[in-house]
Amino acid sequence: MASDPQSGYVIRQMRDAILDTDLKILQLINQRLTMVKRLREYKEAQEMPFVDPERERWMHQYLQGANRGPLSPAGLDAIYDRILELTKRETADIS
């Protein structure tokens, strides 16, 4: 069966759009890390604990309420858990 001559073009367009979205996600993750690092430095200077489990629970609930899909609630929890884990690790070494 012959493939559609447009399929290569369509695939390239879709891949470019996905890459553009991935670059935006990367930029936002780096922006989040910068902000959290500043917060962590401030809290440590004030001798306050960095991790706030109640705030993390609240953020999970807030994001679940804001999520309009197609990301599932379980998928959102998994991604956000990883973001929190990454943020704690990436901001731990404050220079």
pLDDT for the residue 4? 78
Question: Which residues contact residue 86 at a Cβ distance below 8 angstroms, ignoring those fewer than 6 apart?
Answer: 29
Q: Would you kindly state where each structural domain of the chain is located, as residue ranges? A: 7-90
Is the peptide bond between 70 and the residue preceding it cis, with omega within 30 degrees of 0? yes
pLDDT for the residue 5? 75
pTM for the full model? 0.84
**Per-residue pLDDT tens over the stretch 29-78:** 999 999 999 999 999 999 999 999 999 999 999 999 999 999 999 999 99
pLDDT for the residue 88? 95
CATH architecture, range 7-90: Up-down Bundle (1.20)
Helix (H) or strand (E) holding 50: none
pLDDT for the residue 89? 95
Question: Which residues contact residue 60 at a Cβ distance below 8 angstroms, ignoring those fewer than 6 apart?
Answer: 77, 80
